[in-house]
Chains A and B, each alone.
Chain A
Amino acid sequence: MSALLWIAAGLVGMFAVAWAGRWAGQKATGNAPRFRDMPLAVAFGYVAAVVALVGVLIGYVNAYSADPAIANKYFFLWVAVNGLVIFGIAGWLFRLLGRSVGSAATRKLFRQMPLTASFGILVIILYAILAIFAGVIAPYGQSEILGAANVIPGGNPAVGGDPAYPLGTDQIGRDILSRLIYGAQNTVGIAFVTTLIAFVLGGTFGFIAALVGGWVDQLLSRMVDVLMAIPSLIFSLLLMTIASVWADGEKGLLTLYMILIIAVIDSTRVFRLARAVGSGIVVMDYIEAARLRGEGIRWIMFREILPNATAPLLAEFGLRFCFVFLTIASLSFLGVGIQPPLADWGTMVRDLAPFINFAAFAPLVATAPLMAAGAIALLTVAVNFVVDWMLHKSSGLKE
């Protein structure tokens, strides 16, 4: 109860400071419009922002003065602030690089790019490199069981770390860093392939529905309606149950089924978009001209419609990839997705999750599950930032 009283007192105090600050501003600037027209809520917003910043700063300094290996509440704040600053600087440097090298067109692109988008592109490139060269970069194999189990992340021998395993090892002694890197290959690779299949399926049928129309369109659209009426995670869990009976313990086969199941479920969303975009294009004069020329349906689909539908489909590809990636991660987290010997971020989160309870007295231990979950979040956030920027750019900057 006293905590609530303290919070209420703090809010009242902040309002008082906001009012006083606005009044002081009015006096100091001779009633400049900036202060004269400022609502109290906005002044309060400024005060709240300052209070939040100061709070973070105090936590940061507290964490910095203490040894991060021992019990310290502010350790995670310290990590988060450092991560944010480092990523921000990296994104800024990357944008600077993009502005000064490359052709005139890419330089112009980078000049107009917000920091979030350049950060997103940088992260995507890094993940792509990790995924492609995982075998070369990772110090150990993904399912290689090494000598020591439960090595603490950080590589500091004084608190139970080992420089040979910079991010520690898990309960049965597999190197977490290597598994994270291989996870990029497995999780991202599988999600990418799944999205590609979903696009080929959904795009083709969507264009066919738009182009042919009539009963074909009706049939396809109603089928898609039914498939979309079941929540996608629920439907994929149901189908995975069936697939696990079919696969009968064969893990490779089960992964293949998972790819197909998610691809089909997600292709319904692609179908909707492709059909909507396609039916806008089909009524154009150049399609009419192509038809009169006697072109076949394949020519019209891939040479006439597809090039004109690239922009919305590309943005959709980014979003769809995020959804597919999150679905696969969730399925793996629930234990029915990518199967154990393969390193995968969702499974890693589930396996390492109990470590989070050590956060109060051994913060380094608790970082293990958060790293895998953070790896998922970082990629989806990055893709979303880029897609958001692309959509904003193509929408012609509304108010």
Chain B
Amino acid sequence: MRSVQLIILQRLGLGLLTLLVVSMVIFIAVNSLPGDFAQAILGQGATPEAVEAIRQQIGLDKPPVTRYFEWLGGAVTGDMGVSFAQANFASNFGSTSNTGVTVVDQIAPRLANTMFLAGVTALIAVPLAVTLGILAALYRNSVFDKAANIFTLSSISSPEFFVAYILILLLAVLNPIFPSLSNIFNDMPFDARLKATMLPALTLTLVVTAHMMRMTRAAIINLLASPYIEMARLKGMSPLRVIVTHALPNALAPIINVIALNLAYLITGVVVVEVVFVYPGIGQLFVDSVKIRDIPVVQACCLIFAAAYILLNLTADILSILSNPRLRHPK
């Protein structure tokens, strides 16, 4: 048991280190911008005095290393600064203190929305993908398997917005079942919220399920050549039982891995899908901020995306260690 704990601790440490380095990469990338933030906040027509004032206010006169640690410290304690759009708004209306809306205030509700979307997607996609993957492995090389192969390959390789518009066409315009724009607000009843989230969730499901299903199928089929499967078959077990009670437990590690990796993939998929459906999530905020070059928000979103990505990859790693009995019970 000790060695497993050691491995897990090692992985956790490595994950933290990666996150630290990633935050450095993000900071360096953003700070390699020519000109500076103060100019960006105030625009072209700003007087030098005003630029200098803003520089002092957001601490741009300090050396980069100090600023990095201040930013990192702020990020850890939940203070990401004020977005340029908000600071600009405040300065235009004569307010000098940045007590306005902070980046965290902007991101928090949207992050919750995105989590909701990812959660709904995972709830639909994971059981569907595993079931379909088992079925495809069970009836491999049949017409069903070949059709599933073509269908999943197509939906993996289509861009998310193509799938999204096809779904809008079918389920929102031709047969008005779900709304094509996800209008989500704060105190919305759960069923209305679910209905508004359904189309983006289905789009992500289609993209993610295909990949998970192929991996589940491949993981099970890889095991079918092993001697103990042969033995189970010779005992006269039904094919379904052979797969569910003998092959599946041993295929669990790769399957869990693939599920976690696909949830991580959701993070990037969510950006495009949220833009298509105007879903008020963090991906939409990120793209909007990229367009208006609102650096503090871009930085914060990037850090959150990277952290979620690293965390999910780490979970995949740890779960696949835990699901391996040889590692759990070392001799």
Contact = CB atoms under 8 A, between A and B. Distances in A.
B30 interface: yes
A377 B158 contact: yes
Contacts of A336: 290-291
Interface in B136-178: 139-140, 143-144, 150, 153-154, 156-162, 165-166, 168-170, 173-175
Contact of A242 (B32, B139, B166, B301): B32
Given A359-B169, A373-B165, A245 B298 contact: no
A331 to B, nearest CB: 10
A45 to B, nearest CB: 6
Contacts of A326: 157, 159
25 contacts: A42-B139, A73-B175, A76-B169, A76-B170, A76-B174, A226-B18, A231-B264, A232-B268, A233-B271, A237-B271, A237-B287, A240-B290, A245-B34, A330-B159, A330-B160, A333-B272, A334-B275, A366-B173, A369-B165, A370-B162, A373-B161, A380-B157, A380-B159, A381-B154, A385-B153
Interface string A379-399: 011011100100000000011
A349 B169 CA distance: 14
Interface string A237-254: 111111011100000000
B34 A246 contact: yes
B58 interface: no
A232 B269 CA distance: 11
Interface string B269-290: 0011001100000000011001
B45 interface: no
The 7 tightest CB contacts between A and B, nearest first, are A373-B162, A380-B157, A377-B158, A233-B268, A384-B157, A359-B173, A231-B268
A322 interface: yes
Given A237-B290, A333-B272, A381-B158, A353 B310 contact: no
Interface of A: 39, 42, 45, 49, 73, 76, 116, 225-227, 229-235, 237-242, 244-246, 322, 326, 329-330, 333-336, 346, 349, 353, 356-357, 359-360, 366, 369-370, 373-374, 376-377, 380-381, 383-385, 388, 398-399
Residue of A76, A225, A231, A333 most packed against chain B (CB within 10 A): A231
Interface string B10-39: 000000001101100110011011110000
Nearest to A367: B169
A394 to B, nearest CB: 15
A379 B33 CA distance: 36
Contacts of B313: 229
Nearest to A231: B268
A384 B151 CA distance: 12
B319 interface: no
B165 A245 contact: no
Contacts of A359: 169, 173-174
Nearest to A42: B139
Contacts of B26: 230, 238
Interface residues of B, number: 61
B306 interface: yes
B267 A231 contact: yes
B216 interface: no
B65 interface: no
Nearest to A366: B169
Contact of A231 (B158, B174, B287, B309): B309
Contacts of B19: 229
B293 interface: yes
A62 B103 CA distance: 54
Contact of A349 (B165, B180, B287, B306): B165
Given A231-B268, A238-B26, A384 B302 contact: no
Contacts of A346: 159
B1 interface: no
B68 interface: no
Given A241-B298, A357-B180, A360-B174, A334 B271 contact: yes
Given A76-B170, A229-B310, A230-B306, 10 more contacts: A76-B174, A229-B309, A231-B264, A330-B160, A330-B161, A333-B159, A377-B162, A380-B159, A388-B153, A398-B221
A1 to B, nearest CB: 13
B225 interface: yes
A234 B302 contact: yes
Contacts of A42: 139
Contact of B159 (A226, A229, A373): A373
A241 B255 CA distance: 36
B224 interface: yes
A245 B294 CA distance: 12
B305 interface: yes
A244 B170 CA distance: 37
A349 B162 CA distance: 9
A270 B295 CA distance: 30
Contacts of A374: 162
A370 B22 contact: no
A322 B153 CA distance: 12
Contacts of B173: 356-357, 359-360, 366
A243 B25 CA distance: 15
A230 B293 contact: no
Contacts of B175: 73
A49 B144 CA distance: 9
A233 B309 CA distance: 12
Residue of A226, A233, A356 most packed against chain B (CB within 10 A): A233
Nearest to A376: B159
A235 B26 CA distance: 9
Residue of A39, A42, A359 most packed against chain B (CB within 10 A): A359
Given A238-B298, A242-B30, A334 B287 contact: yes
